[in-house]
Amino acid sequence: MRRQHAFTLIELLVVIAIIALLMAILMPSLQKAKKMAQSTVCQANVKQWGLVFRFYADDNEGKLPQSIAGGGLNAQEAYWPVATLSYYQDKKIRLCPSTKIVRARQNRSHGGTLAAWGPFDFGGPSDWWADFDTGSYGINEWCACPPPTADSYWGFPTKNAWRMMDTKSANRMPLFMDCVYVDVYPLENNAPLDFEPPPYEWNNSWGDWGSQAMRLACIDRHGGAINAVFLDSSVGKMPLRGLWKWNWHRSYNINGPWTSAGGAQLSDWPGWMRNYRE
């Protein structure tokens, strides 16, 4: 008689334990590889956005989108999501692959570290922004070319705007980046958020496009940094503690209170940011 061989229960448990151990060892590496791949795709996206704005500028005497109504354009046509629409085909480039579209409430105007903003809800014909769909990048709103007759746009002085793509030291001027909203007006005295924002939520009291706006880009989406394209169309990572050191607008002080040159100490930063590079 031939005797049949089979695994004992103990042998099966040992094999399962070994597999579980290997998975525990490999999972962090797999997660790290996944995040690196997402960051690479994100950089490719913002690179494409640099080209989109370049093509727009080439067709408009070197100018950036004007942001506000005027000169024959209505508010929707003047704003970047619609102004640039004819220069790209795939709306997926609006989304960082690290983010998800989350509709946790009726009007999802803001996203989060790992959540996209939008889609917006229509409330009436005056809600021209409701057609902006969704995304997880935002523009540095100081990169705009408002009509020459406007002294201000969205409440901020036009004299501080970077109006043209071809500008001296353009590689120091952030144009388009990972963000929890469609646009931001960063200022050197904007303070970082005291606590790390949750991955899929944002509260407007923490910061908004025109109030403590730097916080909307100060999100740990890519290993203590965000991806951005600059006015010269170059792409790079911006470490979170280094966000305050770039030329966000014409009068911006790159040695402001949240830089080491401006006197900021490591202890001044909130705990969640102290391990990040400046």
- Domain extents in the chain: 43-273
- Residue 243 phi, psi dihedral angles, 5° rounding: -60, -30
158 vs 258: CA distance, rounded Å: 24
Q: Which residue has the tokens 């590689």?
A: 171
Q: How far is CA 130 from CA 65, 67, 84, 124, 219, in A?
A: 19, 16, 16, 9, 25
CA angle, 141 as apex, 140 and 147 as ends, to 5°? 145
Burial class (CB in 10 A: 0-12, 13-18, 19+), 20: exposed
Q: How far is CA 28 from CA 197, 201, 252, 253, in A?
A: 23, 25, 40, 40
Q: How far is CA 73 from CA 67, 69, 122, in A?
A: 10, 5, 21
Residues in the chain: 278
The tokens of 116 are what? 């996209």
User: pLDDT of the chain along its 278 residues, tens only?
Assistant: 555 566 677 777 777 888 877 777 766 665 666 677 788 999 999 999 999 999 999 999 999 999 999 989 998 899 999 899 999 888 889 999 999 988 765 557 899 999 999 887 666 666 777 667 889 999 999 999 999 999 999 999 999 999 999 999 999 999 999 999 999 999 999 999 999 999 999 999 999 999 999 999 999 999 999 999 999 999 999 999 999 999 999 999 999 999 999 999 999 999 999 999 88
Q: What is the pTM of this model?
A: 0.85
Contact (CB, 8 A) for 139 and 80: yes
